[in-house]
Structure 1
Amino acid sequence: METRRRDFLRSISAAAALPTLTSILRGETVWSGQPENQANAGLRDLRSQFPLLRENTNGRPLVYLDSAATTQRPRAVLNALARFYSHDNANPAKSLHTLARRSATLYDTARATVARFLNARGPDEIVWTRGTTEAINLVAASWGGANLGPGDEVLVTVSDHYSNLVPWQLAAKRANSTLRILDVGDDGRLRLDQLGDLLSKRTKLVTFPHVSNVLGRINPAKEICERAHRTGALVLVDAAQSVPHFPVDVRDIDCDFLAFSGHKMCGPMGIGVLWMRRELLDAMPPFQAGSNMAHDVEIDAAPHFAEGGLKFEAGTPNVPGAVGLAAAITFLESLDRKSLWAREQELTRYALSSFTKVKGLRILGPTEPSERVSVFSFVVDNRQALEVVTALDAMGIAVRGGDLASLPLLKRMGVTAAVRASCYAYTSSEEIDRLVAGLQG
């Protein structure tokens, strides 16, 4: 075990030399650690920036392996939130008092940060939402309500999270349209060979998870978009589990809509993003109505709607959420996301190898690290998922279990519940060791 851990640390040394908290807050990039201990020092530096990781639970040092549900927040994000509430808190307005102008500037800057992060054509393609779920519901209600009708089809997948399945079930029912399902193989890989039969001129939209929240499998987004566009269909990518792990470029993927949540990538809860092509955004009717999304409103005249994403942002905006997400993006980018991704693949390889030591454990999803992120769902012979979750919790190990909001996929994999251990940039090989020991015990 110790030899393999040393090999693991040695293999990631080039990727793990990470900036200190002070350098991040100053906007600098200062690399720490000597060549022979960069992996250890770099990961320690990174973990030290997440206060909650120092907590004890049930008398044990916390092992947090539930990052696919929500990540922990670094001090850079916590400080950004505290600073906003302490120094800049106001309902944003560009032409009113000083605090209102400062709040508006921060809000606009955060939108521009997200646009750059996704390689969008501009900030006006970004819509703030409460999270991935609301973003998808916005598309289903606004675009779906205006464009779906009898005989039309929406193609979803058996691997979709409820948040990308139920909205389209409801939209199809409202429009008297048909929901078609793309299956997966026994290995959880999307059956792209079925697309020839499923796609037609009746297909108005194709939607799928960029990364499965159960299997951790990375789906070929660019290929799916290209094939869908050949038939004239639009594509919505559920990027809730991909954006947190590796760079996502909306122009390279060539999708039409993309949604993700801030809290799964070190940002606050309650803030999410819907990116969509500007021409689609302009053509879609508002999702909710109220202040900020309309102006010059008269009793006896149709309202004038705001330009860009503001058209879909009725009411008082979540400025601190946007500020916190922008801080999370800045934090992640300062760490060099490509290097973090290389390290994550090594951690994935280490974890998959370690799981083979647990008798009766079966991993769901790919065993090749390059095909997945570090999200591991598994079942253990003769043990219920919630029983395993409870036993691990007593040891200070936080994992998730149940149907994982993806029962159709679990059934396709031959089970109705699973345990999920999900890692992030701050996860260590020692934490994988503790998980494996807990499963063996």
Structure 2
Amino acid sequence: MDIQSIRKQFPILGQEVNGHPLVYLDSAATSQKPVSVLEAVDAYYKLNNSNVHRGVHTLGTRATDQYEGAREKVKHFINAASTAEIIFTRGTTTSLNTVAYGYARQFLKAGDEIVLTQMEHHSNLIPWQQAAKFTGATLKYIPMEADGTITLEAVRQTITEQTKLVAVTHVSNVLGTINPVKEITQIAHEKGAVVVVDGAQGIPHMKVDVTDLDCDFYAFSGHKMCAPTGIGVLYGKKAILEKMEPVEFGGEMIDFVDLYDSTWKELPWKFEGGTPIIAGAIGLGAAIDFLENIGMDNILAHEQQLVQYAIEQLSAIEGLKIFGPERRSGVLTFNMDQVHPHDTATVLDAEGIAIRAGHHCAQPLMKWLEVTATARASFYLYNDESDIDRLVEGIQRAKEYFGDVF
């Protein structure tokens, strides 16, 4: 991969922040957008701005073709069986809530089990808490190893005949743990459970084949994979989606409306009430083109090299602790002794280095780690070793600034 050539396609990375060249290490929160994505969204609004599906005029036809063309790109990108299985949403959170409301609340009952992990983002935890309260189902958690991984033996011991739904993150947004979702799915299916995968931190960084994984649902956001904010995807197996009721009602998702009853459109449109996120979907399609041109395997290999280099460099800093397993995605979460992560992030920001600090929408995991918050540097295809060198220099400056506590 020619990183310098790739970086030039991201205009935002060329600026200075606080008098220093920007080092952006917060892609796990949101990725930056390449010129091709910005131009695709701009062209829609400048040349083709119209609502989709409804009109017969030329602009409406163009917009519809682009919108549905993006759905086709998503289908191929994740190797789904049909575009009917690709539902556009506002993001991972909406996608997961769609399953919680449209499936879990409809089909689960008292005595059923919902199995999760302790590393889940709040978006893949709170919807299931609410579904359990609504249905009388109970929550169970797969125990974690000391390094923040889960074993298949622990999965087998946790999932039982009473388990009806398993919700698991593909990649932890804090630890970088890459979960064996294919094997987890197989174990869950043997017990008759449905599997929901939070793919927000997985799909931007590695090739995802939902047919191979055999999961029943896979949720992800566009903004973490070079696309605009406000667009996401819920993949669901067609046979299951057809059984589910919509969770939003109104225009676009209807087939026939009478005064006292209504019927719904076929998949996927029955889950897309109202005017959809047209520009966002078009931007997502452009982002998929961009990523596929580079190659998801190349992106994964590059990030693996970066995170190993980062672990080596940061491990040499006295008083710094790294959380998570050795094999991980491009996420490095750490703390410095007696220095609050927000203070670390503030000093780094003064050096033009953007990282994330806080509980990362994973408070149960923070409790498991026995911390209140952590600092997190996350890498993507536009980062290189020089960014990590700047991070190390910035952390050393933070140590000097808070030197009286070391």
* TM-score between the two structures when normalised by the length of structure 2: 0.96
Write out per-residue CA displacement over residues 276-322 of structure 1, whole angstroms, 9 at most, x where no aligned residue: 0000010000111011100221113x312111111110000111000
Name the structure 2 match of 1:319.
278
Q: In structure 1, which of residues 194, 204, 208 is the aligned counterpart of residue 168 of structure 2?
A: 208
Name the structure 2 match of 1:38.
none
* 2:379 matches 1:419: no
Code of the residue aligned with 2:124 in structure 1: it is: N
Mapping 1:31-46, distance limit 5 Å: 42-46=2-6
Name the structure 2 match of 1:6.
none
Name the structure 2 match of 1:5.
none
1:135–1:259 contact (8 Å) kept in structure 2: yes
Code of the residue aligned with 1:269 in structure 2: it is: T
* 2:320 matches 1:358: no
* 2:129 matches 1:173: no
Q: Distance in 2 between matches of 1:199 and 1:221?
A: 14
1:68–1:422 contact (8 Å) kept in structure 2: yes
Name the structure 2 match of 1:439.
395
Q: Distance in 1 between matches of 2:351 and 2:79?
A: 43
Name the structure 2 match of 1:31.
none
Q: After the TM superposition, which of the residue ranges 92-101 and 377-386 deviates more from structure 2?
A: 92-101
1:94–1:105 contact (8 Å) kept in structure 2: no
Code of the residue aligned with 1:416 in structure 2: it is: T
Q: In structure 2, which of residues 358, 361, 364 is the aligned counterpart of residue 408 of structure 1?
A: 364
Name the structure 2 match of 1:33.
none
Q: Distance in 1 between matches of 2:315 and 2:157?
A: 38
Name the structure 1 match of 2:71.
111
Aligned residues: 397
Q: In structure 1, which of residues 331, 341, 344 is the aligned counterpart of residue 303 of structure 2?
A: 344
Shift of 1:95: 5.1
Write out per-residue CA displacement over residues 250-292 of structure 1, whole angstroms, 9 at most, x where no aligned residue: 0101100000000000000000000000000100001110111
* 2:344 matches 1:385: no
* 2:84 matches 1:124: yes
Name the structure 1 match of 2:15.
55
Q: In structure 2, which of residues 43, 48, 51 is the aligned counterpart of residue 91 of structure 1?
A: 51
Q: Distance in 2 between matches of 1:171 and 1:209?
A: 18
Q: Distance in 1 between matches of 2:377 and 2:80?
A: 32
* 2:212 matches 1:256: no
Q: Distance in 2 between matches of 1:281 and 1:97?
A: 32
1:186–1:413 contact (8 Å) kept in structure 2: no
Paired residue secondary structure (1:296): strand
Name the structure 2 match of 1:70.
30
Q: Distance in 2 between matches of 1:344 and 1:104?
A: 36
- List structure 1 segments (4+ residues) > 4 angstroms apart after TM superposition: none
Shift of 1:130: 0.4
Unaligned runs of 5+ in 1: 1-15, 17-41
Shift of 1:194: 2.5
CA RMSD of aligned residues (A): 1.0
Name the structure 2 match of 1:34.
none
Q: After the TM superposition, which of the residue ranges 289-298 and 190-199 deviates more from structure 2?
A: 190-199
* 2:338 matches 1:373: no
2:75–2:81 contact (8 Å) kept in structure 1: yes
* 2:401 matches 1:429: no
